[in-house]
């Protein structure tokens, strides 16, 4: 019985350790965002503004806690964020920032999810093609293409896609997440409507991110064929497709999963510009709009949300890795 329980306890301990590390990381992220704002020049209540009477300014300072020393302000802010998820109010609309971001989070997750799917579909597919015959023209082509999509700016690819696919061929709407008349549609039609808007931005973003995946898949599959496991599979007379799809991809999977977590910040950076190009109503669009309006609380919270998404992604990848890689469970 002890033997059966021991690995389970080990896994639980491992999972708890990863969750705790993620929580600490989130705390560091919050501290850094606070430091960025505290260190920025300018004072919310400019002391030299003659239009604000001194006693008025003093009262406002006391009201917002700005008269307190920085550590006290920090603790107060941190407490509000952690205990009641209170990120303050938008300067523009007066609405709670958390409500505003709650609305723009799902579109970003949808776009990033779609892009992640295309990224891995294209990356693994191209990697497989390239690994079939190393150093052939096809391989060279895939390698050149993966370098090119890495080097082209995402927003440029997006603009050209809008121009060629959207305007020229008329195959996709040129922006937005829903049609103007989407509120009249039934649930299924509304879903299809969103998908019709999603596919092009997700394809563009996924394509721009697919280069690394293709390169790694290629080199990992080529390398796998020289390992003992690869040669054993070949010696058993398995067809190439089975060697590669079943054994080779299993060999590459843990690292591919880690790459998803590592490239999560890049994916979100890409999502910001993709949202700007395709007028996608997500976190990036909200951030840009808030920057133009000088709405610091919204920018601040949106940045922290981005970092939180990255932490969540790497935690998820860590946990999946424990599930995927039996060696980790044994430790």
CB of 97 to other proteins, least distance (A): 14
Closer residue to other proteins in complex, CB, 149/177: 149
Burial of 29 (0-12, 13-18, 19+ CB in 10 A): middle
DSSP 182: G
Q: In terms of CB distance, is 214 or 243 closer to other proteins?
A: 214
Q: How far is the CB of 270 from other proteins (least distance, A)?
A: 8
Q: Which is nearer to other proteins, 6 or 32 (CB)?
A: 32
In whole angstroms, how close is the CB of 240 to other proteins at the nearest point?
Answer: 27
User: Minimum distance from CB of 246 to other proteins (Å)?
Assistant: 29
Contacts of 198 by beta carbon, 8 Å cutoff, 6+ apart: 110, 111, 114, 177
DSSP string, 210-250: HHHHHHHHHHHHHHHTTSHHHHHHHHTT--HHHIIIIIIHH
Alpha-carbon distance of 64 to 61, in angstroms, equals 5
- 8 or 167: whose CB is closer to other proteins? 167
Task: Supply the minimum distance, in Å, between the C-beta of residue 155 and other proteins.
Answer: 5
Min dist. Cβ of residue 58 to other proteins (A): 25
Structure tokens, 116: 């992640």
* Residue 98 or 269 with smaller CB distance to other proteins: 269
Q: How far, in Å, are 43, 181, 250 from residue 131 at the CA level?
A: 58, 47, 15
Distance (Å, whole) CA 174 – CA 272: 17
CB-based contact 264:310 (threshold 8 Å): yes
Structure tokens of 140? 């060279």
Site residues, other proteins (CB under 8 A): 24-25, 28-29, 31-33, 36-37, 40-41, 147-148, 150-157, 159-160, 162-163, 167, 264-269, 272-273, 276-277, 287-288, 290-292, 294, 296, 299-300, 302-303, 306-307, 310-311
Report the residue number, 73 or 303, with the smaller CB distance to other proteins: 303
Segment (H or E) for 307 = helix 296-324
The residue (of 156 and 240) whose beta carbon lies closer to other proteins is: 156
Residue 277 CB, shortest distance to other proteins, in Å, is 8
């Amino acid at each position: 019985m002890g033997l059966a329980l021991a690995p389970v306890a080990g896994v639980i301990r491992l999972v708890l350790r990863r969750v705790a590390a993620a929580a600490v990381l989130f705390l560091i992220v919050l501290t850094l965002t606070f430091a960025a704002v505290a260190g920025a020049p300018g004072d919310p209540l400019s002391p030299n503004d003659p239009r604000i009477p001194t006693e008025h300014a003093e009262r406002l300072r006391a009201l917002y806690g700005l008269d307190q020393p920085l550590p006290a302000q920090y603790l107060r802010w941190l407490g509000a964020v952690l205990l009641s998820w209170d990120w303050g109010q938008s300067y523009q609309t007066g609405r709670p920032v958390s409500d505003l971001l709650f609305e723009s989070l799902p579109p970003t997750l949808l776009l990033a999810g779609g892009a992640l799917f295309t990224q891995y579909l294209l990356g693994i597919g191209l990697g497989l093609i390239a690994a079939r015959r190393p150093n052939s023209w096809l391989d060279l082509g895939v390698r050149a293409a993966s370098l090119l999509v890495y080097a082209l700016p995402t927003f440029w690819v997006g603009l050209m896609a809008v121009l060629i696919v959207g305007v020229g061929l008329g195959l996709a709407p040129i922006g937005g997440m829903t049609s103007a008349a989407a509120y009249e549609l039934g649930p299924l039609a509304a879903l299809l409507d969103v998908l019709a808007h999603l596919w092009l931005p997700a394809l563009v973003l996924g394509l721009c991110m697919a280069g690394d995946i293709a390169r790694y898949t290629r080199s990992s599959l080529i390398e796998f064929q020289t390992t003992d496991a690869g040669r054993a599979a070949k010696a058993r007379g398995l067809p190439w497709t089975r060697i590669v799809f079943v054994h080779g991809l299993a060999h590459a999977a843990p690292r591919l999963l880690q790459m998803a977590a590592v490239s999560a910040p890049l994916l979100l950076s890409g999502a910001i510009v993709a949202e700007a190009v395709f007028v996608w109503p997500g976190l990036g669009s909200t951030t840009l709009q808030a920057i133009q309006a000088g709405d610091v609380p919204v920018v601040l919270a949106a940045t922290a949300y981005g970092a939180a998404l990255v932490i969540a992604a790497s935690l998820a990848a860590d946990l999946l890795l424990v599930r995927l890689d039996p060696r980790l469970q044994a430790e």
